[in-house]
Amino acid sequence: MQFRRVAVTGVGVVAHCGIGKDAFWKGLNSPVEDIERRVYDFDPAPYFENKKEARRADRFAQFAFAAAAEALEQAGEIDAAPTRRGVFLGTGIGGLITVEEQIITRYEKGDRRVSPFLVPMMMANAAAGGLSMRYGWQGPAENTVTACAAGTHSIGNGARWIAADRCDAVLAGGSEAAFTATALAGFRNMTALSPDNRSMPFDAKRNGFVMAEGAAVLVLEEWDRAVARGATILAEVMGAASTADAHHITAPSPGGAGAVNCMELSLQDAGLNAEDIVHINAHGTSTPLNDAAEAEAINKVFGSKPIVTSTKGVTGHALGAAGAIEAAAIVLSMQHEQIPPTAGHESLDPDMPEIDIVTGAPRDWTPGPSMSNSFGFGGHNGTLIIGPAS
């Protein structure tokens, strides 16, 4: 089967370090405070018809609307038929803020005070469905819930719709807003969170991830159609893969076996060899087991050749949105011809294989095929390969 090329023509980002792709890029290259990675000063109103509509969307859906609006504005006028336009949005948890608020409301005030919008606000597909209605995109509108791999899987799945001639354009990405007291307590009690809010990917002193919220959406289009309409092509989704560790609900498989398999399959999907990959935006969560397994997996597949960074040192870990935010970071790295440093990293764990980590300051580079890794609870692995526009 002849697969079609997939162009990236728009990028939108909502993150702790910046709302909008320009502020986000600046934030990736700025000093970091050891604080919660919440998205402060976010106003959802401009992205909805009115304030009432905005209030009827959970925060994770509000983020998705904002990121999609920015991405579509950059992409320009898309000429595909409505039934050939799809939406694929991932989330790890969905409308958890709404769930927790409404449980408290029921407990304190009774059944009749529970919002009739509870279910449509809490459901994980709310962002995907909402965007399809907002823009009249009548093709498939689906949702991936694969923990921290959800954003990566959604972009990979959306790209396949285009490659396989199901869609001509797709809004693809991920969104998450899970800062609730219960969620934080759960992560804290399983000792997954950094006790001092320090994200230190691959560092010898790393002590857990720093939870974040946010969203990123890419506009994907069939390459020739994008060229024909005069769109500015930012990058190309060259390949993707998804595997399962089938090992443990939270811990990675020994030696990063699932990650190795996923990266190798993504290379096959892209028609590339290991030596073709120039840069890896690592999952790099700053947890002891995950970073060690990923470093070992990268070394097994590539040796120490690719340039590695983990933008989670700045952004924190946005769970189901993380992979989409990191895919956006790769596209922006190609536009700016710089790779952001791994904030918080001071010295490589001596028990890890050697990998070429960007530290201290951005590194200039000639953009080439780049890989983005996401590994989630449940053993879900996702890898994207993104190439420069050429």
Q: What is the C-alpha to C-alpha distance for residues 105 and 141, in angstroms, rounded to an integer?
A: 31
Asked whether residue 122 is assigned to any structural domain, the reply reads yes
Residue 389 lies in a domain: no
257 in Cβ contact with 314 (< 8 Å): no
Q: Is residue 53 part of a domain?
A: yes
State yes or no: is 283 an active-site residue: yes
> What is the reported pLDDT for 390?
81
In a domain, 387, yes or no: no
Residue range 215-271, pLDDT digits in tens: 999 999 999 999 999 999 999 999 999 999 999 988 888 889 999 999 999 999 999
pLDDT per residue as tens digits for the range 1-24:
579 999 999 999 999 999 999 999
**Active-site residue identified among 16, 153, 279, 283:** 283
81-130 pLDDT tens trace = 999 999 999 999 999 999 999 999 999 999 999 999 999 999 999 999 99
Residue 118 is assigned to a structural domain of this protein: yes
Task: Kindly state whether residue 1 falls inside one of the protein's structural domains.
Answer: no
Set 148, 153, 167, 380: catalytic member? 148
- Alpha carbons within 13 A on the beta-carbon side of 161: 25
DSSP single-letter state for residue 111 = G
Residue 384 lies in a domain: no
Q: What is the CATH number of the domain that holds 89?
A: 3.40.47.10
pTM score above 0.95: yes
Where residue 141 falls (left for φ over 0; alpha for ψ -120 to 50; beta otherwise) is beta
Which of 16, 153, 317, 345 is catalytic? The answer is 317
Which tokens in the block code for residue 205?
A: 């002193």
Which residues make Cβ contacts (< 8 Å) with residue 128, sequence separation at least 6? Answer: 87, 88, 89, 141, 142, 143
Strands 370-376 and 279-281: parallel
- CB count in 10 Å sphere of residue 234: 23
Contact 311, 374 (CB under 8 A): no
Query: Inter-axis angle of helices 96-109 and 59-75, to 10 degrees?
Result: 150
Instruction: Examine the residue annotation and report whether 167 is marked as an active-site residue of this protein.
Output: no
345 is catalytic: no
* 41-63 pLDDT, tens digit each: 999 999 999 999 999 999 999 99
Neighbours of 227 (CB within 10 A): 13
Alpha-carbon span 289 to 293, nearest angstrom: 6
- The domain of 282 spans 6-379
> How many domains does the chain divide into?
1
Pairing of strands 141-144, 85-90: parallel
Domain membership flag for residue 78 = yes
Give the separation between CA 279 and CA 261, rounded to whole angstroms: 18
DSSP-H helix ranges across 288-360: 288-302, 312-315, 322-336
